[in-house]
Amino acid sequence: MRDDLYDEILRRNPGEPEFHQAVHEVLDTLGPVLRARPELVEARIVERICEPERQLMFRVPWQDDAGRVQVHRGFRVEFNSALGPYKGGLRFHPSVNLGIVKFLGFEQIFKNALTGLGIGGGKGGSDFDPRGRSDAEVMRFCQSFMTELYRHLGEHTDVPAGDIGVGGREIGYLFGQYRRVTNRWEAGALTGKAPGWGGSLARTEATGYGAVLFAAEMLRVRGEELDGQQVAVSGSGNVAIYAVEKAQALGAHVLTVSDSGGYVVDEKGVDVALLRQVKEVERGRLGDYAERRGSSARHVSGGSVWDVPADVALPCATQNELDGRAAAALVQAGVKAVAEGANMPCTPEAVTAFTEAGVAFGPGKAANAGGVATSALEMRQNAARTPWTHEKVEEALTGIMRDIHATCHETAERYGAPGDYVLGANAAGFERVADAMLAQGLI
């Protein structure tokens, strides 16, 4: 059945390799669930869950500072709302297309289900690139984008957040236009807002923090701690920066970060304050970090950050950044745990290499769920119009990540695959969504 279904998905969704990869990875692990629960096969839950409830694609015209008209394409895939309103980020990057958004939205279904917070799965974005654009240009683009998208959003319908290329600036402009065209102060319609006007403290840190917490839990059940481990991190954006910060807070020694120009190895441990200054404030390159850091840091142009030996690897950049060759190098160097901070950063070959070598592997739908979990906590604060302290949010995030780990670990054992977090995450998330779909009838 799985092969026939996958062939049908390939036929109906041509030219979308990332979506195909995400679906195949899930289908490859659901056999034990479907054998144990034939009612899900009869109701064709898998076929239904692989088909988005709604796919939106629209034109986004806007004018740059020189007065030239620019035209981009906007997307929102509302994939599954069985557990709650669609929830998932907006990505602004030239690589964005329908297949990318569908892959991200499909992953989001299971990730959101694992949080236990009553949110469905969706994703969106545009092929617009905010890099190098003025604030005025970004504002005009965001206003045009939201002028179309607003009619599909709402705190009880679809709640976007940020993703690659969409940070606090973009969320502010998007929310302003949403408020303007709806005439409603509906804070819960977007998350990732600034704390002064409805945002949640610790949201910026949440995805990176959560990936580290998940890695720490994987080590803990194996009788080890993160304290004292050598850690390699890829990326140098929001997720990577706060993964470095949290790992260091738990006693790890973080050696690397990377960007499109190469990677840095810092023998003294990455200086988070300097990294944040270079990447978030100055929007500079890692070569600048290495130059200012001094003799402890060296910048490597090109190559792979995964050539650096480490006990724990945290891929926090983008999809398919860690391939089979890189995984083999990490295994050879003795890596103990890998937790995906980005969405699907490990190729199927890499995942196979890690699992066959007995490396603890935390898939993104579990390991990087901290971001969307904290977005759901932001929605909770918006609904009550009551802000939480940073400590309260971080405490809740820590509890959620431990619960997600326990759920994945226990589900894998229940289906006869102890330690297989891929199966555990997919099966647990799938069952939660499938049970809701069964209960709500054929819709």
Q: Which of 123, 246, 279, 336 is catalytic?
A: 123
Report the C-alpha gap between 70 and 390 in whole angstroms: 40
Per the annotation, does 87 bind a ligand?
yes
Write the DSSP assignment of 280-299 as a string of letters: IIS---HHHHHHHH-TTEEE
184-189's contacts with Cβ under 8 Å and 24+ in sequence apart are: 186/154, 186/155, 187/155, 187/382, 187/385, 188/155, 188/159, 188/379, 188/382, 188/383, 189/153, 189/154, 189/155, 189/159
Report the C-alpha gap between 411 and 408 in whole angstroms: 5
Per the annotation, does 268 bind a ligand?
no
Is 123 a known active-site residue?
Answer: yes
Per the annotation, does 111 bind a ligand?
yes
Amino acid symbol at 280: E
Per the annotation, does 207 bind a ligand?
yes
φ, ψ of residue 221 in degrees (nearest 5): -70, -15
Token pair belonging to 1: 């059945």
Report the C-alpha gap between 154 and 140 in whole angstroms: 22
Per the annotation, does 375 bind a ligand?
yes
Is the four-CA dihedral 235, 239, 243, 244 of positive or negative sign?
positive
Report the C-alpha gap between 371 and 209 in whole angstroms: 9
Mode of pairing for the β-strands spanning 69-80 and 120-126: antiparallel
Per the annotation, does 365 bind a ligand?
no
Residues with catalytic annotation?
123
Binding residues: 87, 108, 111, 162, 207, 238, 375
Binding residues for substrate: 87, 108, 111, 162, 375
Binding residues for NAD(+): 207, 238
